[in-house]
Chain A
C-alpha cells in the first residue's frame, strides 16, 4: 500500500532552471494538494485540485504551475527556480475536501542556488 509517493526526494537546481516535482497516490482520492514547509513559516498551501481537470491556487501560488490530467497524479512545476523557492515540498491527498483524513508524502527537499 504505497499511499502518496513523491519524487525526487532531493533536488538541487540553479537559479532560472525549471523542474517538475512528481506526486502520485493510489487511494483513488479526489482531492490533492501541494504545501511547502519553511522554518518559522510552517506549512503553506501552494495549489490544490478537487478532481481531475480542476485546479486552483492556494495562498502561495506564484512561481508554480499545476495540472491534474488523472486522478492519481498531481505534478508541481517550477517555471524558473529562485532561491526563495528553497524549501521542503509536500504533496497530500484526501478522499474529499472536507471531513476526511489527509495523507502526506515523504517530501521533496529542494535547494535553489
Chain B
C-alpha cells in the first residue's frame, strides 16, 4: 500500500527566500507524482506533474524532482512571494492495483511567506 509523507508540516519564511518542500513515498512502483496547491477554502490547483520516466519538471519559479529509487520528490520554490502562501500537497499515482488511477496524498505542507 502506497503511503505518502510530507515534511515539514508547516514552514514560515521571509519573502525572497528559496525553499524546498519534501515528499516521500513508500512504493517505488509509482507511475507519476503530482504537486498541488490549495488555498484556504478552495480546491486543488495542479502545479506540476512528473511522470515516472522523468527526473524533474519546471514551471516558472517552481521546479519539482522525482527520485524513484530513494522514494522522494522535492518541490523547489525560487524567490518566494507572499502570494505563494498556501498548502502544498503531493500525490502519487500507482499503476494498476485495486483502485486504478488512485492518487495517494500526503498531509500537505502549510507554507507562509511573510513580507
Residue positions of A touching B, CB distance < 8 A: 31, 33, 35, 40, 42-43, 45, 48, 50, 56-59, 90, 92, 94, 96-107, 109
Contacts and interface: CB of A to CB of B under 8 A. Distances in A.
B100 A101 contact: no
Interface of B: 31-32, 34, 36, 41-46, 49, 51-52, 89, 91, 93, 95, 99-103, 105-108
A1 to B, nearest CB: 14
Contacts of B103: 33, 35, 43, 45, 92, 102
Contacts of B42: 106-107
A20 to B, nearest CB: 19
Contacts, number: 71
- Which residue, of B45, B51, B93, B103, has the highest number of chain A Cβ atoms within 10 A? B103
Nearest to A101: B49
A43 B49 CA distance: 18
B43 A107 contact: yes
26 contacts: A31-B100, A33-B103, A40-B107, A42-B107, A43-B91, A43-B103, A43-B105, A48-B101, A48-B102, A56-B100, A57-B99, A58-B99, A59-B102, A90-B43, A92-B103, A98-B93, A99-B51, A99-B52, A99-B93, A101-B49, A102-B103, A103-B46, A104-B44, A104-B45, A104-B46, A106-B43
Nearest to B36: A104
